[in-house]
Homo-oligomer: A and B are copies of this chain.
């Protein structure tokens, strides 16, 4: 059979398949010395000159010539006006999505140990952990073509549910062009203040604070290479979320799902950008042909066909596997951001999966439902980082403090152990501090 659309056709029994797969997955954000240097300068300027530097860079990069940072703040009334201006259907969809995302994260808050814990030992010593929300959080929202209101909801709502007191959003508006859907989403999500600034200068303003922009404790949200570089640099002064790579979907299919559905699911990832990655694993060679045929048939109907073609050609693959068990093993190696298990009785395969940002089980769970409104967060670990990191969640906007209340009796037994080890480590003041509490 021959197909019109260029996408890699691989088999797990090919010679050198593990290496081929590794190459397919390989992605490294290019390190650009010019960006590096520029970001260092911008951060330094914002740190030392505050508002003045923010105004200069915003004039230079976004062509917004204003006299004061206050002129770059969008008042809450304007966010509400943007919400009121939406067509009814769109507003309802946004509000329904927000309500579902909020409901899920409220369950998550209850289930992720937000109450902390405390227990008392026999000698009266009390140990535990206290969980508290962050005070103030910054959300970076990209301007221009990648301006996604759904991202505003996904970043702001978990912070609100966690109990963060103040959410500051920054969004660049080159030439003053504002996206009403993004502003409406900010209103629905309960964002407290919005500044129309972007780039490394916005990251610097949030990390260090300026005369007009308050310092935050953590910065979340996606951005371009300058924003990612700046976030990496301010990490430690403030918290940051993961630095996101290109988006990915991995579909595990047993060959029982309508091939058109799977083809469209692959497109839904590929349409993001040329670097997005769409991979299908299936033990049925004939079914892979059917999906390939569906791709050929459907791609011509897609408005973003050129992006999809490039993404599928450069980074996509239809892979024949021996069986679904092998598909699960490969999926654990890929550790995909989005994993669809489009199969009969999907739970049996989900039980085998150790590494994935989000799992979509059964053929009705298209990734797009999760992207917008199923409830779980759509900010997910990319580029194999699901091996060690998690979806954005309420827990990202909380932190813990250990609680230690040693009783007089407890200080006797613990003091001897501590002193013995402290002397062993050559730290005599530690030892003496414990010994002073001995009777």
Contacts and interface: CB of A to CB of B under 8 A. Distances in A.
A358 B129 CA distance: 9
Size category of the binding interface on chain A:
35 or more
B268 A436 contact: no
A375 B127 contact: yes
Contacts of A258: 436
A403 interface: yes
Interface in A159-202: 181
Given A264-B432, A418-B371, A427-B271, A406 B364 contact: yes
B217 A387 contact: yes
B421 A94 contact: yes
Interface stretch (A50-58, A74-82, A301-309): A301-309
A434 B365 contact: no
A415 B431 CA distance: 64
A230 interface: no
Contact of A403 (B117, B350, B363): B350
B90 A424 contact: yes
A430 B238 CA distance: 34
A243 interface: yes
Interface in A242-288: 242-243, 258, 260-261, 264-265, 267-268, 270-272
Contacts of A67: none
Contact of A361 (B270, B364, B383, B403): B403
A354 B268 contact: no
B387 A354 contact: no
B359 A421 contact: no
A401 B436 contact: no
Nearest to A380: B402
Contact of A364 (B111, B359, B399, B437): B437
A399 B393 CA distance: 11
B239 A368 contact: no
A15 interface: no
Contacts of A433: 261, 264-265, 267-268, 366-368
A159 to B, nearest CB: 12
Interface string A343-376: 0001100100111111111111111111111111
Interface string A391-425: 10101000111111111101100111110111011
A373 B107 contact: no
A429 interface: yes
Interface in A89-129: 89-90, 93-94, 96-97, 104, 107-108, 111-113, 116-117, 119, 125-127, 129
A187 B357 CA distance: 34
Nearest to A340: B404
Q: When A and B form their complex, which 9 residue pairs have the shortest distance between CB atoms, in order from nearest?
A: A239-B388, A376-B402, A358-B402, A112-B113, A93-B420, A267-B429, A361-B405, A111-B117, A390-B400
28 contacts: A93-B421, A104-B127, A111-B116, A130-B359, A181-B424, A267-B432, A268-B427, A268-B429, A271-B429, A346-B405, A350-B403, A356-B401, A358-B403, A361-B403, A365-B404, A366-B406, A366-B436, A368-B430, A369-B404, A369-B434, A373-B414, A373-B421, A374-B404, A374-B414, A376-B404, A377-B402, A390-B399, A391-B400
